[in-house]
Amino acid sequence: GENVEQHPSTLSVQEGDSAVIKCTYSDSASNYFPWYKQELGKRPQLIIDIRSNVGEKKDQRIAVTLNKTAKHFSLHITETQPEDSAVYFCAAKGSGYSTLTFGKGTMLLVSP
């Protein structure tokens, strides 16, 4: 089955800096890669996703890049703000209709 590795497990940045979280996946047939943000005590919420036929996608301060050859994808957050502090999860969906396999999460702390 699919295996997703996520790094780093924790990331501390100063407000205004950029943050990058990286994930690798094992199933070359995976075709859907969402990113979820989970604030303390809340549910995971989708913030951005990308499909395998697209190399990059942006939404205001967040962007996701995908390298199918290397089987890795990354989340980029620019101009970080304290409210960006949360746990971020990457996920990958394997071939066919299958389920999402989640990474272990990255705790992002943005200090004022």
Contact at 8 Å (CB) between 73 and 67? yes
Q: Pick the binder of other proteins from 105, 106, 108, 110 (CB under 8 A).
A: 105
Contact at 8 Å (CB) between 45 and 59? no
Examine residue 40 and tell whether it contacts other proteins (CB under 8 A): no
Torsion, CA 24, CA 83, CA 87, CA 67, rounded to 10: -10
Examine residue 93 and tell whether it contacts other proteins (CB under 8 A): yes
Nearer to other proteins, 96 or 112 (CB): 96
Examine residue 73 and tell whether it contacts other proteins (CB under 8 A): no
Contact at 8 Å (CB) between 80 and 15? yes
Least distance to other proteins, CB of residue 17, Å: 26
Nearer to other proteins, 41 or 112 (CB): 41
Longest dimension (CA), the chain: 44
Residues at the site binding other proteins, with contacts judged by CB under 8 A: 32, 34, 36, 42-46, 49, 89, 93, 97, 99-105
